Structure 1
Amino acid sequence: MENKTSKADKTKQFIVEKTAPIFNKKGYSGTSLSDMIHATGLTKGSIYGNFVNKDDVALAAFDFNLQKVNTVIRQEMLSCVSYREKLLVYTKVYENFLEFPFPEGGCPVMNTAVEADDTHPQLRKKASDAIVSWKDSLSKLIKKGIAGNEFRQDVDPEQVSLTIIATIEGAIMITKLTGKLSYRRAIMKSVEKMINDLV
């Protein structure tokens, strides 16, 4: 029984790994069952034998893609000494995400938020939770920086966190839309300045 469970888990993981880049690039409505069959080499029965439906696969794919982003950020923060350096990891990673093991198709939060805004409540909730979690992580770093006298006492952690997120996500959207990487670099310089000005 144990082997059966682990085989099912492995198949599920395989389906998620193979379909996650497609959902991230094409979106929920743009990803078809034939895309999933083509990517995995499995039959419809095999896919839906492991997942309830397409929604179920899409939600697991979002989690997988988000986990990839969070792992990159955590890894990069390991070598940071100050809270300012930890915050600057976000500008470094998002400015150069092709150099990191980022999900294919870019930021899953941005991709999902734009598409699932009105069409898919469960995916919208996932994207919303991801933004809140990101905001909480940033706020925690800023609060620790304030407590350690690294940042000014008058800094509002929540306001700064939301502004950093909005600016980074806006940079991704503008770059994607125009195809101009120089725009992303320019906007990230503004985020860097915002972080450096907290001191």
Structure 2
Amino acid sequence: MARQREFDTDAAVTAAMELFQRKGYEGTSMRDLADATGLGSGSLYAAFGSKDGLYLAALDLYRQRYAAPLTDLLRAGQDARAVIREVFVGVVDDIVQDGRRQACLIVGAATERAHRDGRVAERLRATTQSLEAALFDTIAEAQLRNQIPADRSPAELATFLVTTLQGLRVMGAVSPCRATLMLSVDVAMRCLT
């Protein structure tokens, strides 16, 4: 009979996610993960199979906690430009408030792991595609309501906006200056008028 886990898996994945975000995959050892989660490495291996398994679980949790709410917000808004701006300003605010200057886990995974691990790359594609799809839907609906000019491609605008969002995260990790980041937001928003 298999032993039941005697720890909170979500809490362990949350602690690992925060550690991976702060130190990156390569900079995080199993000892670091054991210390952060308060679990022995044997328990971590039993639950997640490997450091890679825990990293994939952390990416899934990050998507659930940070990317999914953005797509939900985009799909709930009536005024497309206002809700898109709200998403961008929210990202800028998160960047500026992050005193530890942690990069987005998605951006970190893209630069550190996606080229080496197809499972990581697939998770990043799925996250990006869900955000692009939400932006596409928001823009296409707004075009039907004459809120955004109909002569623009919703797919191209969605791709550009996702690229800009991720670019903000990268630049924010380098220099989290709100005024500078908001200049990019303003330029992106002008593409919708």
SS in 2 for 1:170: helix
Tell me if structure 1 keeps the 8 A contact 2:103–2:173. Answer: no
- Give the letter for the 2:185 counterpart: M
Counterpart check, 1:67 vs 2:101: no
| CA deviation profile, 1:29-83 (whole Å, cap 9, x unmatched) | 2211011111111111111121111111000101111212135436755984312
Structure 1 residue 124, shift from structure 2 partner: 1.8
Structure-2 separation of matches of 1:149 and 1:10: 52
Structure 1 residue 181, shift from structure 2 partner: 4.0
Q: 1:43 to 1:172 in 2, by over 3 A?
A: same
Structure-1 separation of matches of 2:175 and 2:82: 30
Structure-2 separation of matches of 1:22 and 1:40: 10
Aligned pair partner of 2:147 in 146, 150, 153? 150
- Give the letter for the 2:187 counterpart: S
Structure-1 separation of matches of 2:157 and 2:72: 23
Q: 1:120 matched to which residue of 2?
A: 117
The number of residue pairs the alignment matches comes to 191
SS in 2 for 1:129: helix
- Give the letter for the 2:54 counterpart: V
Structure 1 residue 138, shift from structure 2 partner: 0.5
Q: 1:131 matched to which residue of 2?
A: 128
- 5+ long unaligned stretches in structure 1: none
Q: 1:128 to 1:75 in 2, by over 3 A?
A: closer
TM-score relative to the length of structure 1: 0.82
Q: 1:37 matched to which residue of 2?
A: 34
Tell me if structure 2 keeps the 8 A contact 1:113–1:128. Answer: no
- Give the letter for the 1:46 counterpart: S
Tell me if structure 1 keeps the 8 A contact 2:80–2:147. Answer: yes
Q: 1:176 matched to which residue of 2?
A: 173
Structure-1 separation of matches of 2:77 and 2:60: 26
TM-score relative to the length of structure 2: 0.85
Greater helix fraction, Structure 1 or Structure 2: 1
- Give the letter for the 2:11 counterpart: F
1:8-27 to structure 2, matched below 5 A, reads 8=5, 11-27=8-24
SS in 1 for 2:151: coil
- 5+ long unaligned stretches in structure 2: none
Tell me if structure 1 keeps the 8 A contact 2:17–2:58. Answer: yes
| Superposition RMSD in Å | 2.8
- Give the letter for the 1:95 counterpart: V
Q: 1:10 to 1:158 in 2, by over 3 A?
A: farther
Structure-1 separation of matches of 2:7 and 2:146: 48
Counterpart check, 1:85 vs 2:82: yes
| CA deviation profile, 1:72-105 (whole Å, cap 9, x unmatched) | 436755984312222222211111115889xx83
Tell me if structure 1 keeps the 8 A contact 2:16–2:37. Answer: yes
